[in-house]
Structure 1
Amino acid sequence: MSGPLTTAARVLETLHAASDPNEAEKIRNRVADDDVVIGVRMGTLFDAARWAVDLPEKELETLLEHPAYEARMSAFCILDFRARRKLADRERAALARIYLERHDVITAWDMVDRAAPRVLGWPILIGAIDGGVLDDLAAATDPLRRRSAITAPLWFIKKGSPEDVVRGLAIADSLAGDEHPRVRSAVQIFRKHADQRLRNDGEDG
């Protein structure tokens, strides 16, 4: 990559140039059956997203609408990289709205894990958007939305108060016994980190 990627076409060219049949076989094992797979190593995909962080919104939408897993994954990585910047609350809310409005194109658990904590959890933590959205996601029929409900509050553990961590644990409780393995594993991950955070807070106190 020789410079910033300013169009979806350039991002896709970069991804296709890095296509590897062996990588495609690995990716196929973790994505939806009807996803198109290009076959790009995650490190390469992250680098492409980093170069495309200032992609215009119309071009970002093109990636979100693309049938290939890597195109959509790169879009959610772009959102995550944007969320790492110093932003105004309204800008964080705008990123969260994109995540929520285009949750329909999330077809793999790693899209959730990459973007949900910063893109969704951060604006909820600071009150830029209503935290009730987590309850809505937790009640959804789509297991990836339920995974978002418990993955976004990982940001509460990282940057929130003990009370914020408890808010996340309430979501975990609501998903206890979920029938989907991707939701159950996310609940276990959250509880593990939440318990560690609360233990550390108790020791510091």
Structure 2
Amino acid sequence: MTESDIQKQLEALSNPQKKEFLPYYFKTGKGQYGEGDLFIGVVVPDIRKVAKANKNTGFEELGRLLDNPYHECRMCALLILVEQFKKLKSEVEKKQVVDFYLSYTHRINNWDLVDLSARDIVGEYLSGKEDRSILYRLADSDLLWDQRIAVISAFAFIRENDFTDIIALSEQFLTHKHDLMHKAVGWMLREAGKRDKSVLISFLDKHYRIMPRTMLRYSIEKLSADEKSYYMKKN
């Protein structure tokens, strides 16, 4: 299938209410993080169905989808890449997908696009590898989406009880200005704490006084009421 064919499949699933709502939800106004993004009005479960139906789409057409002005077309391309990646056995083929993905991070340009793809492509590729320098190149980028990809990719390691990188990245982003990064870091710290509470508590005891409040609130969500109160009242 071509980019145009896939766009038509998505357009057939358009919901007028969603088409009106989504631009507000994803902050597409002037000066907002999603400025200028366009929406067809398709919900994620339906985009997944289209992605699975077109999972053999090649890089050329996926690149066109990622360059498409419609958010759902870009999401569909990313979900196709996720489908392809999880079936691959060859490290060479996996690296090709990762390299392709990383060449388009400027088009993975909203939080949902990152969150639905980074862990399952970049994170899974790096899981078990000693060299995770890709994460820190992304973290050092000036592009917000690269930075969020770095943090969400670490979810793959967290699921394996490997917390080194999320702690390092969380410390790097303690003074980040954007709430999308505060939310991402807080979420990943919470996930780490669900698996090993001592890791979260150690991080909080060291940094809670300077953590942005959104980051702190996200990270302590699963703690007891008394623990939440302790950290919040001194933040």
The reply to whether TM is greater than 0.5 is yes
Give the percent of matched residue pairs that are identical in Structure 1 and Structure 2.
24
CA distance in structure 2 between the aligned counterparts of 1:19 and 1:187, rounded to whole angstroms: 33
The answer on whether the counterparts of 1:7 and 1:56 sit within 8 Å (CA) in structure 2 is no
CA distance in structure 2 between the aligned counterparts of 1:35 and 1:195, rounded to whole angstroms: 35
Of 130-139 and 66-75, more deviation after overlay is shown by 130-139
The answer on whether the counterparts of 1:144 and 1:183 sit within 8 Å (CA) in structure 2 is no
CA distance in structure 1 between the aligned counterparts of 2:147 and 2:181, rounded to whole angstroms: 6
Deviation track 1:97-150 (CA, whole Å, cap 9, x = no partner) reads 1111100112211010000001101111233x9411211211222222111110
SS for the counterpart of 2:117 is helix
The answer on whether the counterparts of 1:53 and 1:82 sit within 8 Å (CA) in structure 2 is yes
1:42 maps to which of 41, 44, 49: 44
For 2:15, the equivalent position in structure 1 comes to 20
1:125 maps to which of 127, 132, 135: 127
Aligned pairs for 1:184-203 (under 5 A) are 184-199=182-197
The answer on whether the counterparts of 1:169 and 1:194 sit within 8 Å (CA) in structure 2 is no
The answer on whether the counterparts of 2:88 and 2:94 sit within 8 Å (CA) in structure 1 is no
The AA in structure 1 aligned to 2:158 is I
SS for the counterpart of 2:163 is helix
For 1:10, the equivalent position in structure 2 comes to 5
Number of aligned residue pairs: 192
Give the superposition deviation at 1:199: 4.1
The AA in structure 1 aligned to 2:19 is A
Aligned pairs for 1:83-162 (under 5 A) are 83-127=85-129, 130-158=131-159, 160=160, 162=161
CA distance in structure 2 between the aligned counterparts of 1:126 and 1:7, rounded to whole angstroms: 35
Of 26-35 and 40-49, more deviation after overlay is shown by 26-35
For 2:66, the equivalent position in structure 1 comes to 64
The list of structure 1 runs, each at least 4 consecutive aligned residues, that deviate by more than 3 angstroms after superposition, is none
Give the superposition deviation at 1:200: 9.4
The AA in structure 2 aligned to 1:92 is K
Give the TM-score taking structure 1 as reference length. 0.87
Can you give the 5+ residue segments of structure 2 that lack an aligned partner in the other structure?
29-33, 200-235
CA distance in structure 2 between the aligned counterparts of 1:83 and 1:176, rounded to whole angstroms: 32
Give the superposition deviation at 1:176: 1.4
Give the TM-score taking structure 2 as reference length. 0.76
Give the superposition deviation at 1:64: 1.1
Root mean square deviation of aligned Cα: 1.9
SS for the counterpart of 1:77 is helix
CA distance in structure 2 between the aligned counterparts of 1:172 and 1:53, rounded to whole angstroms: 34
For 1:52, the equivalent position in structure 2 comes to 54
